Amino acid sequence: MTPDSAIETARGWLRAASRAAALTGAGISAESGIPTFRGAGGLWRNYRAEDLATPEAFARDPKTVWEWYDWRRGLIRDAKPNLGHYALAQLERRMGDRFVLITQNVDGLHNRAGSERVLKLHGDIWWTLCTACGDVRSDFRVPLPELPPRCAACGGLLRPGVVWFGEPLPARTWEQAEEAARTCDVLLVAGTSAVVYPAASLAPLARRHGARIIEINTEVTPLSGEADLCLKGPSGEILPQIIES
């Protein structure tokens, strides 16, 4: 199949779909200039991400953990959604509640592009969670005026509203993601290596329930051999081509 015919096939599947879903990963954010913190340049002050993004690290040294997140928030603030983000927001506007966007990213770029129906499997770096009273709210200040920050409701210690290594995904969000995978006719998988579980189980789940899988990635992944259609290239180039306005 030629690249042009593959694009046209993907368009046709989306046009015919009663329900569609998308799963996005770090690749789509990397196209906006956000570094993948587990990559070769992922060291910060000689710390590995795996040594900071844990409940144990936060219990031991919340100030250092928050300094790392404050630094990351600064990088993300300066980034902008790319055409892939905007294309998915356009698909939501076209399909309404028949489309669900599932993301492993915590940067909020999908929201900034206009997406509203977003299931955030790993939370959101712009959310804070009180370790004392459980209050969750958004805080977009960069830098934060106090590290570690304190809860406006009770004065308790705040933590980033993200899922750390060793923590389960938010149960309700995961249930909704599985439901979206089970009920969609087409699942777009964009910018994810398809190796991090449980998110990597969504494409096989969708396929078992009859969905067509369209993979968009710059590299071959473990999912490539199982996908119905593999479109090789950046999400920011390919998604706008297959998601018509």
pLDDT digits (tens, 9 = 90+) for 146-165: 999 999 999 999 999 999 99
Q: What is the pLDDT of residue 45?
A: 72
Amino acid at 151: C
Would the pLDDT of 237 be above 70? yes
State the pLDDT confidence band at 245, using cuts at 50, 70 and 90: low
Q: Is 209 a catalytic residue?
A: no
Would the pLDDT of 196 be above 90? no
Above pLDDT 90, what percent of the chain?
87
**What pLDDT digit, counting tens, does each position of 11-65 carry?**
999 999 999 999 999 999 999 999 766 554 556 777 788 889 999 999 999 999 9
**What pLDDT digit, counting tens, does each position of 127-137 carry?**
999 999 999 99
Q: What is the pLDDT of residue 1?
A: 61
Taking the CB of residue 135, how many other CB atoms lie within 10 A of it? 15
Q: What is the mean pLDDT of the chain?
A: 93
The model's pTM: 0.94
With beta carbons less than 8 A apart as the criterion, state whether 118 and 89 touch: no
With beta carbons less than 8 A apart as the criterion, state whether 237 and 210 touch: no
Q: What is the pLDDT of residue 37?
A: 62
Q: What is the pLDDT of residue 44?
A: 73
Q: What is the pLDDT of residue 49?
A: 80
**What pLDDT digit, counting tens, does each position of 200-216 carry?**
999 999 999 999 999 99
Q: What is the pLDDT of residue 195?
A: 80
User: What mean pLDDT comes out for the span 192-204?
Assistant: 89
Amino acid at 214: I
Which one has a higher pLDDT value, 106 or 41?
Answer: 106
